[in-house]
Structure 1
Amino acid sequence: MKIAVNYGEFDDLPILDKSRELENYLGEEICVESLKSEPFLLTVTQDMKKRASTYDVISFAPVWIQQVVEKRGILDLGGLIENKATTYDTIEGLNGDFFENYLGYNAWYNEKTQMPGQARGSGLIAIPGAHSGGAVLNYRQDILDKYHIPVPQTWEEFNEAAKKITSSESGVYGATIYGNTKGFFPIFDWYNRLVSLGGKQFRGTVGGRSITSCANSTEGIKAYNLIKDLLPFMPKDALDTTLEIGKEKMLQGEIAMQINVTSFTMPGDFYDRNSSKVYDTIETEQIPGEKGFRGVGYGGGLSWSIPRNAKNINNSWKCIQFLASKTFDKYRCMKYGTTPMRRSTVQDTNVQKAQPWIRCMEPIIDRAVEPEYFYIPEAFEIAAIINDIIRTGLQNELEASLVMKELDKKINEVLIRGGWKLNG
């Protein structure tokens, strides 16, 4: 049994821990491979032309929809649920224990709209089990208490608090950004501000082959300006900060507030007394936002799918149910701090004790969203454009409207080249 996971998201570690138990359950040896996104996708698409897939189980992301799902490269699991041995955990999960919002954007797929979501005609192309995710605000309660600052509810309050801390606290910056993370920068910082202000980056429909970038909006401009306004109060290397460096700054107590995505930064590390200098003062909350949109942010995560030409579909089905089970979800969350797929895991008192940040995650996962461009083949190219143009704009202190216009122009050129019609 060959299981393929996405590199850098730690989904392989708990599987390897439980490999003997899984092998006994399946009656065969397992092999787990961790692959970077683009080579992973290339292997899966090439395998669709072969008699047998390289992998028997794959971790699935929405960014693969056009290349893999539309070409029927993975199984609709509905038939397996009806006709094969389905565990109680799987049934309970699909009936409410799996986060419904997560099922909507990373499990159900509607062929007519060519978008995720459960509706008439939708198929179940994956089941949760790798990890979910959500945008969170990590902050030092001791610093906020020292300056009598309440937890920021809006981005204006966030900026005001960060400026006050940077100006007053020696050796501690109020906030920073992940400015050098390629496609991740816009997801962590600009995109989270955009959607929590009530904005969207695209209009149109994927199913109608009509989609247009509309970053040059009130919300898009404000999201950019919120970062630009705060940049002088961040570390000088903020625009060069990688995920590893930014996380380390928080662990070492150099940052008072930080926006993180639990799929990538593992908030549990901040609470680890062996690696974190702020383990006893760190807290986790929903990200700031406009009224009605506070807490809305990037979700992310990966589910489990079966290639259509997997060698032993029955065993692949057993495997992904094992990896999506209650016991496995709790184990990997407690040990590795991966974001749960199940409400029962979030609500479990033992899990909350092991990972204190879990207590706030239910409403965050319930309201998480995916960038619209994730559902089209040009996703990686668009992510790079967003990153480069916003980062360059901030480096050169360019006006927000100019940056957003350039962003729309470059992305729409990519869309036209890909055969998409612009929507207005």
Structure 2
Amino acid sequence: MSNAPHRDQILIVEDEEIIRKSLRKLLERHDYDVSDAVSIKAASENFDFNNFALIISDLRLPGQLGTDLIKIVDPVPVLIMTSYASLRSAVDTMRQGAVDYISKPFDHEEMLLSVRRILSASKHRAVAAKTLGDIALLGSSEAIKKITRVIPKVAASDLPILIQGETGCGKSALALAIHNGKKSTRQRFININCAGIKEAEFFSQLDASSSNTTLFLNNIAELAAPLQALLLRVMQTSQCRFICSSDQDLEKLCLANLFRKDLYYEIDVVSIAMPTLRQRSTDIPAIAQASLVHFDDVSSGLTEEATQALVDYQWPGNLRQLKNTLQQAVIMATPGEPIDTELIGLGEIAPRPTQGIKRISAGSVDQSLTQDYDAPAGLSLEDYFTRFVLENQENMSETDLAKKLGISRKSLWERRNKLGISRKKGDELHSD
């Protein structure tokens, strides 16, 4: 297999041999370097996830769900395949951080289109990564002002720093800002993702650090117990700077004996709470506009309604979810036209309420959408979509159909074309 640098490397995690081999041949025919594994355990033992541009995983794997990979391999994008999917399970998959999902048996062209789109979006993000880190700290809310005021103070010290906050709220960006605030610009910044890291790799990273290094230990709560002991010994003798982050309450983990108390006290010298996007919603317009500039040049910004929808949304995935939403909108946008609420598509990625899927847009919740829309047993997502549309299109407008399905009108139109479901000419009055 060629490891030529210009060829994107893709990892397939699939326990069904026929599907795994078929997908591998399809991707290799289109000039991708492909590796495969039958489980997450096998993939972890045989591959360094950081070497891959994309991971394609089945949802149900031996011993684990494919969505478990999302946090382990972050920031590598994960595309989830599922044999049968309800609309709600598809929404759940996207909520957990999958960049896309595809129902099996998959259409070859659909798979290739999705792979190309994801890889293209990842390259845009990579080019803009440094600037987007700065964008994460944009805004004039009191919450972010408090953070920006503290950066120069803690940057001047070499004391260990613990950054706590929800997933995707910008903890990595804050760590880098603290590092860059140091007067010495020669310091190295090493980002170590503690989730699923192997002992040899962890030891190697620690061994390579020196007095001119900032070690950022991301997801410190996920660090295996034996490695916690190793880190504690290193911290007590090393001259490098340590910044740790966690989206879990480490104090509670200590009380439950899931995290070493002595290590917690070692890393929690200077503690910073990174605010959620909900706590700084007034910063969203500035963050969104700045992000769009660095993603692409195809749109002319956001409509007023789309901007308001972004501000009113709750963003369970915080900045990461906001950036992914904008990236998707940019891909779908028409050159020269502003991005509207349909392209933002918050109805498709809204968090799942207790009683079912609700569409959230422009600060209002449609209370008529509180029932569950799971596909009947045995129906694929496409089968369910087809049946639902055919049974309801005579009595519902396109807007109402899209709302009930939890998708945008643009997505409804695209799926109609793909599945060959056209409206009767007499139904045009309902297309609003």
TM-score (structure 1 length as normaliser)? 0.28
TM-score (structure 2 length as normaliser)? 0.28
Greater gyration radius: 2
Q: Which has the higher contact order (CA 8 A, sep 6+)?
A: 1
